[in-house]
Amino acid sequence: MDSDDLSVADPTITRTGSFADRDAWGPLGEWCAVERAMTVIGNRSSMILIREAFYGGHRFDDLVRRTGLAETVAAKRLRQLVDDGLMEQRPYREPGARTRHEYVLTDRGRALFPLFVSLMRWGQGDGGPSRMDLRHAGCGAPLQPIVRCEAGHEVGIGETEIHLRPKVTSGAA
Amino acid sequence: MDSDDLSVADPTITRTGSFADRDAWGPLGEWCAVERAMTVIGNRSSMILIREAFYGGHRFDDLVRRTGLAETVAAKRLRQLVDDGLMEQRPYREPGARTRHEYVLTDRGRALFPLFVSLMRWGQGDGGPSRMDLRHAGCGAPLQPIVRCEAGHEVGIGETEIHLRPKVTSGAA
DNA sequence: CTGTATCCCAGCGGATACTG
DNA sequence: CAGTATCCGCTGGGATACAG
């Protein structure tokens, strides 16, 4: 039996479903999307390149200068981000110049928007300096990341349940 | 002049304010909360330990087993998480046993909740297996991370502005 | 049960030099 | 302007053995 007698009462996610085989999970995160996500965006250089892409940076030169990364690192990460489907490289031509490439976020890359805002807001909570201020263009109010259920309720940790799916429902993909 | 002539039209954050000294940012992210955040939680082991803490894991043994981390790595990361103020170590006594310690998320650790949900949902978007399902305990509906302004509007990338603060407003903290 | 000490390997990130 | 090649130090992460 798991040692689940909580000796402290702090808000955590409530567990529902069969957690009996919980320990059988492979160590490589074959079942856990969090681990997979971290292998893709879980390093500093990837994240700040994505940051600059959100800020509208497209060209290699700009991305390097505005991130402060070494060219070698930036090139390697950008290639990886393209491979992972977060960015794509588009050719374009300025009049009177030769063809260039530019990096653009894909839909999957842009889907990181809530994560990006969460990361920035959380990072600002350490009292350190931050010159960034994300606001709603419509009304100028600052942005906040929140968690909501599909029925429209705002949800905190204490109202969250985690359901563990049985093993693999081979019927549904 | 920056090369900001967008040759592609993809939704990005609109930049407002003085971006002239944008390139003067130090490479170590002294002004950027995203970079600072990534140095704290930007590795796989930290994040999956936080994951287990959200799931209600407290004891060293459980955390090691349920994350699949090596004990050495788990111990090192937990110490770092405590140092960084994301977890705290509380002593407790079960009747008839000697004093133990348990790891509990601090407020700053729990503030990662939107980021955690964002990370999981984004990770699930790759089509890989995931046995996790986060739901609202009240109504059972699945959770979604969203971005909202303080005036209550839901905000997408296209409606976001980023303001860059001048240098340091020495008057305001 | 909760770690620490030691050793090891792979990957991240930077510096320098070079190419189309 | 947009990278690649090479080298090199630091950290992340694991294996094994040991300790309170």
| Nucleic strand D interface residues, CB < 7 Å | A 27, 59-62, 71-72, 75-76, 78-79, 89, 100-103; B 3, 43-46, 68-73, 77
Kindly state the average pLDDT of the residues B5-11.
Answer: 56
Residue A149 scores a pLDDT above 60: yes
Residue A1 scores a pLDDT above 70: no
Contact A147 B25 (CB under 8 A): no
Interface residue of B28, B36, B153 to substitute, partner A, most A CBs within 10 Å:
B36
Kindly state the average pLDDT of the residues B110-116.
Answer: 98
Residue B1's pLDDT is: 42
Range with the largest mean pLDDT of A58-62, A125-129, B18-22: A58-62
A45 sits in which H/E element: helix A44-54
Q: Is B31 helix (H, G, I), strand (E, B) or coil?
A: coil
Kindly state the average pLDDT of the residues A59-88.
Answer: 96
Identity of the residue numbered A82: V
Per the listing, tokens 């200068």 go with A65
Residue B92's pLDDT is: 76
Average pLDDT, chain B: 85
B18 inside 8 A of chain A by CB: no
Residue B30's pLDDT is: 62
d(CA B111, CA A125): 9
Residue A9's pLDDT is: 56
Chain A residues whose beta carbon lies within 8 Å of the beta carbon of residue B4: 56
**Interatomic separation, CA of residue A29 and C1' of nucleotide D3, rounded (Å):** 34
Residue A3's pLDDT is: 47
- DSSP letters, A102-126, are EEEE-HHHHTTHHHHHHHHHHHHTT
B148 inside 8 A of chain A by CB: yes
Contact A113 B8 (CB under 8 A): no
Residue B126 scores a pLDDT above 50: yes
Report the half-sphere exposure of B19 (CA within 13 A, side-chain side).
Answer: 16
Please identify among residues 99-128 of chain A the ones whose CB lies closer than 8 Å to any CB of chain B.
Answer: 102, 104-105, 108, 110-126, 128
Query: Least CB-CB distance to A44: which of B26, B35, B55?
Result: B35
pTM, entire model: 0.90
Kindly state the average pLDDT of the residues B41-52.
Answer: 96
